Chain A
Amino acid sequence: MSVDSQFVHKVWNDVELSKMIEAVGVPFHMASDGGGAIGTVYGVYSGAQGVDFRGRFLIDPDGVIQAMEVLSPPVGRNVDETLRQVQAYQLVRKTGGKEVTPSGWTPGGKVLNPGPDLVANVWKAWNPKDVYGKK
């Protein structure tokens, strides 16, 4: 979603993005936010610059915003991180919150089970060295 028209989206897809993506191009909707009305409601539209900043919202199956991130223009996003967050929220949703995902969680990684026994005992169940600084 950007302030560009759907016509400009088509040309960008056809002349450039389709060269970066296998098959025919962008597989999702490229929506037009002409005038920035939608970006304004989502708090990412800059009237001064006339553009939507790099806002990313994860919306669950009930239509509720679960995660959001906004970057200024010169730094791009990390799609792997977006997918990781979706997978984490899907796990939490599937378990009804009985399993939650600690910092640095990736699919298959250690989860935590919230409850009285876990209070002040997270250090026994989870260590940052398990997930960070491994590269």
Chain B
Amino acid sequence: MSEDKVGCTVPAAEIESSGAEIAPAEEVKKEAVRMGIMVGMKAPDFTAPAFYKGGFTTVQLSQFAGKWVALCFYPGDFTFV
């Protein structure tokens, strides 16, 4: 992925609208919004700015195709739990 595009602004994360052949992400996105995420669904692809091993980069879910992924959300940095 693109490396070190560090500016003063924080680039907004993006939900991808292309890439998935079996279930186009745009359709998945609409389906996800309509009926919620379910097991058995294609995981909606996205790109997001990230900190990784000392540097800034962009991470895209689909770059991990072929691997198991644990995607974890949490309320915020410096929260206690």
User: A residues near B, CB below 8 A?
Assistant: 1-13, 16, 24, 27-35, 37-44, 49, 51-68, 73-77, 82, 86, 89-90
- A128 to B: closest C-beta gap in Å: 24
- Contacting residues, chain B, for A54 (C-beta < 8 A): 72-75
Q: A31-B59, A63-B62 are in contact. Are A86 and B70 (CB under 8 A)?
A: yes
Q: A33-B48, A41-B44, A59-B68 are in contact. Are A68 and B76 (CB under 8 A)?
A: no
User: B residues near A, CB below 8 A?
Assistant: 10, 12-15, 20, 22, 29, 32-33, 36-46, 48-54, 56-57, 59, 61-62, 64-79, 81
The secondary structure that dominates the A interface is: mixed
- Contacting residues, chain B, for A49 (C-beta < 8 A): 75
Report the bound CA distance from A52 to B80 in whole Å.
15
- Contacting residues, chain A, for B48 (C-beta < 8 A): 1, 31-33, 38
Tell me the nearest residue of chain B to A28, going by C-beta. Answer: B52
Report the bound CA distance from A65 to B38 in whole Å.
7
Report the bound CA distance from A107 to B29 in whole Å.
35
**A63 and B20 within 8 A (CB):** yes
- Contacting residues, chain B, for A75 (C-beta < 8 A): 81
Can you sample 16 A-B contacts with CB below 8 Å?
Answer: A5-B10, A6-B50, A29-B52, A33-B13, A37-B46, A38-B48, A41-B37, A42-B37, A42-B44, A44-B73, A57-B69, A57-B71, A60-B68, A65-B38, A73-B75, A86-B68
